[in-house]
Chain A
Amino acid sequence: MLLGGGVALALLWAPEDADQGPSQRIFYIHVPVALTAYACFGWAAWKALRLLWVRDQRYDLESYVAVHLGVIFGILTLVTGSIWARVSWGVWWSWGEQQLVLFLILFLFYSAYFMLRFSLDPGPARASICAVYALFGVVLIPISFLAIRLAENFIHPVVFTRDGPQMSDSMFFTFVVCLGGMLALAAALYTNELLGKRLDARIRELREALS
């Protein structure tokens, strides 16, 4: 509902940008989706840290599900960003943009997590190796996030500066609602997927016990 409300505000209520026109409204989904991907990867790293700390195997599944969702939101970030780039800059992708390339590296790093995970036998060793990998990836998040501020030549816009958000109050309110909606969607998907995977594991145990 929150996301639906955010999308409605973005499409119907938020004022149109004078420079970019209607395509600027992609901002209301592109940036929340990107921040949600970062949040998922951060959550995965936190769960990985908990696993390494307390050695409780349930954190392995929680970290895996968070990485899975982060990659899905990463795909959405790349696709919506490419669409926005095409209409604003005239290109689908720019290899000269540090933030774009760093986000792609972050995305590919976490995509490789699945290759690592499924190339190892299930067990505590796999859980520990995957946890260390997920923790390494989280280092890329602040680099990716700050890249735009460190870059000298860029065409990727900077909306949030030290002086606050560079947009009107109504635009900022719409953005916050969309971000809240996207995070709520991610939380709901995370809970559902985790529950499904736990149920699946229980069913497998039950099948083995009955056979």
Chain B
Amino acid sequence: MSTGEKYLAGAYAVLLVVVLAYVAIIALKLQRMERDLSELAELARRRREEAAA
């Protein structure tokens, strides 16, 4: 692999890594929101049961 090809691969790798990191961060945020929503749904269910009782 020539020097030019190494730098070329490096530039494209940087783009790939940054995009993948961004997607991974979004995926982690979505997981957190899913957890939060589950907690809130559980909280709302308990409130409804308490109100009915």
Contact = CB atoms under 8 A, between A and B. Distances in A.
B33 A199 contact: yes
Contact of B4 (A23, A199, A203, A207): A23
B50 to A, nearest CB: 12
Contacts of B10: 83
A7 B36 CA distance: 38
B40 A207 contact: yes
B29 A196 contact: yes
B18 A75 contact: yes
Chain B contact residues, majority secondary structure: helix
A203 B38 CA distance: 11
Given A22-B2, A22-B5, A199-B33, A206 B11 contact: no
Contacts of A76: 14-15, 18
A150 interface: no
Nearest to A79: B14
Nearest to B16: A7
A29 interface: yes
B26 A192 contact: yes
- Chain A interface size, as a band, is 20 to 34
Contacts of A206: 40
Nearest to A193: B26
Interface in B18-37: 18-19, 22, 26, 29-30, 33, 36-37
Contact of B8 (A22, A33, A199, A203): A22
B45 to A, nearest CB: 11
A26 interface: yes
B7 A84 contact: yes
Interface of A: 7, 11, 20-23, 25-26, 29-30, 33, 72, 75-76, 79-80, 83-84, 86-87, 185, 189, 192-193, 196, 199-200, 203, 206-207, 210
17 contacts: A7-B12, A21-B2, A22-B4, A22-B5, A23-B5, A30-B11, A33-B15, A72-B18, A75-B18, A83-B7, A84-B7, A87-B3, A196-B26, A196-B29, A196-B30, A203-B33, A210-B43
